[in-house]
């Protein structure tokens, strides 16, 4: 069978819109609400911290993406620097993360569409039979757009993203004209203070909203002039997204009528109208009925655009996982006519459908926690990989070379670890258990010949720090102030966060020291790409 090649058809605008399209999804519709509930008027600080933290990580991937433009690169880079164990664990966590988002966004589309078609949902928000059908139809539409051509996918996404930017910006401008200065002095956030800010970073959808910065890296193998366009697209998408989100948070806090805040910020969690459609409800309260109608319509468009992106991204990840030898080889096949990994696209569609079946995954706040919990641990390997490859592949061309990487990389690792820790025990215990348990698959797919066993011994020596890191982070989330203990063994939120930061630096330098002596850079036949 003739094996196809990925085609380089995505330009800077396409890549930037991929990042922005993933960033401006359902997050903009909900995150400001939960940020205000957790941190009150200080929620903007959580957005600034989230932007800086993810920005540091984005700078790391800007260099990696330009130096090694690979589809599914996020899970392939740890393989280059630390071998199969580190690459596998990172890949499994990322598979959980990316495969869930398309289904989640389809659920969001269905939930908001209920405003027009009540028969789609039950009173508790779960889908009816018709609602489930609508979600599957949306996923099928995402699948078909991706299945036809990467060029069609990129152009459709760019148009959808451009359209869905109109509503956040229009909402922002109108709400900024309705600010009430007294709102910024109202207290009663839950939990409030520094603990509330840290909680908002991990659990209000702030980190979730910024996850789209990795999309240009995922599509680097299909980008025109990736050495220039990939890092630029990463930085542009995260900076523009951060500006929009910080301003939206300020606008939401300042514009919400004081009558809704009579019991403090934490009480808004009990306001069903606000929790189901925050900005649309505020618009109605302010007398902007027409804006509310548009917001309900946009609540369908924004999640749909994001779901489209992540369905495609999951396919690239499955392709990369297969190329690394962790999954069935059929998922690394590329269609020779379209240049698309079609078997991997089919798998991503199936996984997305599976995610929408459990009824407990139909709450946006619950879904955001699930996605974040599956994603945050994939952040931390990037900084270690960057510093390791600087040492193990020093002569490799780096069109974009991150200045001050010896400072930025460890800071990015610490920031990622804080996000993991602040996600809390309930979240981390599930992710860590699933990821470590997935080692069963790792052994199932490994070769048993002598050469493979010797390579396994080498890779375990290089990747053992990842397993220990996961275990230690799990212990910290249990005994710290974000865990289940009524009286945490380490008080918080400052002391325990400092301890996590110190431990993170230890693991960072252990990880760099454990790198493979020589980077194992793979060059796939599919990635001798067509330029046309």
Domain ranges of the chain: 12-376
Q: Between 106 and 283, where is the model more confident?
A: 283
Q: Which residues pair with 127 in a beta bridge?
A: 121
Q: Bigger pLDDT: 521 or 254?
A: 254
Angle of the 84-113 helix axis to the 129-148 helix axis, nearest 10: 130
- What pLDDT shows up at residue 147? 67
Site of tokens 């053992």: 464
Residue 7 forms beta bridges with which residues? 530
Maximum mean pLDDT: which of 220-224, 335-339, 472-476: 472-476
What dihedral do alpha carbons 484, 487, 491, 493 form, nearest 10°?
A: 40
Q: What are 487's two structure tokens?
A: 């009286």
| Two tokens, residue 151 | 């060029």
For the chain, percent of residues with pLDDT exceeding 90: 28
* Mean pLDDT, the chain, whole residue set: 82
Q: Where are the beta strands (DSSP E) in 340-418?
A: none
pLDDT category, 530, cuts 50, 70, 90? very low
What does the pLDDT read at residue 171? Answer: 93
* CA-to-CA separations, 377 to 27, 68, 235, in angstroms, rounded: 20, 21, 21
Single out the residue of 274, 283, 284, 277 nearest to residue 302, CA to CA: 277
Which region among 6-15, 243-252, 345-354, 469-478 has the lowest average model confidence (pLDDT)?
6-15
Q: Residue 373 above 80 pLDDT?
A: no
Which tens digits make up the pLDDT trace of 484-503?
A: 998 999 988 899 999 999 99
Q: Which residue has the tokens 């994001």?
A: 306
Average pLDDT score over residue span 42-60 = 91
What is the pLDDT, as a whole number, of residue 1?
46
**Span 16-46, pLDDT tens digits:** 888 887 788 778 888 999 999 999 999 999 9
Query: Cβ contacts of residue 180 below 8 Å, gap of 6+?
Result: 254, 255, 257, 258
pLDDT score, position 17:
81
pLDDT per position as a tens digit, 459-486: 889 999 999 999 999 999 999 999 899 8
d(CA 409, CA 505) in angstroms, rounded, equals 10
pLDDT tier at 532 (50, 70, 90 boundaries)? very low
> Is the sign of the CA dihedral 472, 474, 477, 479 positive or negative?
negative
Long-range contact pairs involving 433-436 (C-beta distance under 8 Å, separation at least 24)? 434/92, 434/96, 435/89, 435/92, 435/93, 435/96, 435/377, 435/470, 436/89, 436/467, 436/470, 436/471
pLDDT digits (tens, 9 = 90+) for 409-447: 999 999 999 998 998 888 788 888 888 888 887 777 666
Residue 203 has pLDDT above 80, yes or no: yes
Q: Let me know: does 352 contact 345? Beta carbons within 8 Å.
A: no
Q: Which two tokens stand for residue 322?
A: 């297969």
Q: Is the Cβ–Cβ distance between 216 and 15 less than 8 Å?
A: yes
Query: Tell me, what's the pLDDT at 48?
Result: 92
pLDDT of residue 528: 42
Q: What percent of the chain has pLDDT over 70?
A: 85
Q: Which of 6-10, 133-137, 191-195, 325-329 has the lowest mean pLDDT?
A: 6-10
Residue 99 has pLDDT above 60, yes or no: yes
Does residue 527 register a pLDDT over 50? Answer: no
CA atoms within 13 A on the CB side of 204: 34
19 within 8 A of 158, measured Cβ to Cβ: no
Instruction: Count the neighbouring beta carbons within 10 Å of the beta carbon of residue 209.
Output: 29
Rounded distance, CA 27 to CA 303, Å? 9
Lowest mean pLDDT among 146-150, 296-300, 471-475: 146-150
User: What whole-number distance in Å separates Cα of residue 275 and Cα of residue 280?
Assistant: 10
- Chain Cα centroid distance, residue 468: 24
Give the separation between CA 530 and CA 528, rounded to whole angstroms. 7
Give the three-class secondary structure for 108: helix
Split at pLDDT 50, 70, 90, the class of 529 is very low
Q: Rounded distance, CA 327 to CA 113, Å?
A: 37
Alpha-helical (H) ranges within 7-83 are: 12-23, 27-39, 43-67, 73-82
Which has the higher per-residue pLDDT, 507 or 116? 507
Measured distance CA(216)–CA(479) in Å, rounded: 37
Helices and strands, number each (H, E), in the chain: 22, 0
Q: Identify the residue with better confidence: 523 or 269.
A: 269
Could you tell me the pLDDT band of residue 154, with boundaries at 50, 70 and 90?
low
Instruction: Say if CB 384 and CB 135 are below 8 A apart.
Output: no
- Distance separating alpha carbons of residues 221 and 65, to the nearest angstrom: 9
Q: Output 372 or 240, whichever has higher pLDDT.
A: 240
Give the rounded distance of the alpha carbon of 496 from its chain centre. Answer: 25
Once rounded to an integer, what is the mean pLDDT over residues 509-528?
78
Q: Is the peptide bond between 191 and the residue preceding it cis, with omega within 30 degrees of 0?
A: yes
Nearest to 277 by CA among 264, 294, 259, 258: 294
At 232 the pLDDT is: 86
Q: What was the pLDDT predicted at 375?
A: 80
Residues 6+ apart with CB under 8 A from 399: 66, 67, 227, 228, 231
Residue 110 phi, psi dihedral angles, 5° rounding: -65, -40
pTM of the prediction? Answer: 0.83
* pLDDT confidence of residue 211: 78
CATH 1.20.1740.10 fits 12-376, yes or no: yes
């Amino acid at each position: 069978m003739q094996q196809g090649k990925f085609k380089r058809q995505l330009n800077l605008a396409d890549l930037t819109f991929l990042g922005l399209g993933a960033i401006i999804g359902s997050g903009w519709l909900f995150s400001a609400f939960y940020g205000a509930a957790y941190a009150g008027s200080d929620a903007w600080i959580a957005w600034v911290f989230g932007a800086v933290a993810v920005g540091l990580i984005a700078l790391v991937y800007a260099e990696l993406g330009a130096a090694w433009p690979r589809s599914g690169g996020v899970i392939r880079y740890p393989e280059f620097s630390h071998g199969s164990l580190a690459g596998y664990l990172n890949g499994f966590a990322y598979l959980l993360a990316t495969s869930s988002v398309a289904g989640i966004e389809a659920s969001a589309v269905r939930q908001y569409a209920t405003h027009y078609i009540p028969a789609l949902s039950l009173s508790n928000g779960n889908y009816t039979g018709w609602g489930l059908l609508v979600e599957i139809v949306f996923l099928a539409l995402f699948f078909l757009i991706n299945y036809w051509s990467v060029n069609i996918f990129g152009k459709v996404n760019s148009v959808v993203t451009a359209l869905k930017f109109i509503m956040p910006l229009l909402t922002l401008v109108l709400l900024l004209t309705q600010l009430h200065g007294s709102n910024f002095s109202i207290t009663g956030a839950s939990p409030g203070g520094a603990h509330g800010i840290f909680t908002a970073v991990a659990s209000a959808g702030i980190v979730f909203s910024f996850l789209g910065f990795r999309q240009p890296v995922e599509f680097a193998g299909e980008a025109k002039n990736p050495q220039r366009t990939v890092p630029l697209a990463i930085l542009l998408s995260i900076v523009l997204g951060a500006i929009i989100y910080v301003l939206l948070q300020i606008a939401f806090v300042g514009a919400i009528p004081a009558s809704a805040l009579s019991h403090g910020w934490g009480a808004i969690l009990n306001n069903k109208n606000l929790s189901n459609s925050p900005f649309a409800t505020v618009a109605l309260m302010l007398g902007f009925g027409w804006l509310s109608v548009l917001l309900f319509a946009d609540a369908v468009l924004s999640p749909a655009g994001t779901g489209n992106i992540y369905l495609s991204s999951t396919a690239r990840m499955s392709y990369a996982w297969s190329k690394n030898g962790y999954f069935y080889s059929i998922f690394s096949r590329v269609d020779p006519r379209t240049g698309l990994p079609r078997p991997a696209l089919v798998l991503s569609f199936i996984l997305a459908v599976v995610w929408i079946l459990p009824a407990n995954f139909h709450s946006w706040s619950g879904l955001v926690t699930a996605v974040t919990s599956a994603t945050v641990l994939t952040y931390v390997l990037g900084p270690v990989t960057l510093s390791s490859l600087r040492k193990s592949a020093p002569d490799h061309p780096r069109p974009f070379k991150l200045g001050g990487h010896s400072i930025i990389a460890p800071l990015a690792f610490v920031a990622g670890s804080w996000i993991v820790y602040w996600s809390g025990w309930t979240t981390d215990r599930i992710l860590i258990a699933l990821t470590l348990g997935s080692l069963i698959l790792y052994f199932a797919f490994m070769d048993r010949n002598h050469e493979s066993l010797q390579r396994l011994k080498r890779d375990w020596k290089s990747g053992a720090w990842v397993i220990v890191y996961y275990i230690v982070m799990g212990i910290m989330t249990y005994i710290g102030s974000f865990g289940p203990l009524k009286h945490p063994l380490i008080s918080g939120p400052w002391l325990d966060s400092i301890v996590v930061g110190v431990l993170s630096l230890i693991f960072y330098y252990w990880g760099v020291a454990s790198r493979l002596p020589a980077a194992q850079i793979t060059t796939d036949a599919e990635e001798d790409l067509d330029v046309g």
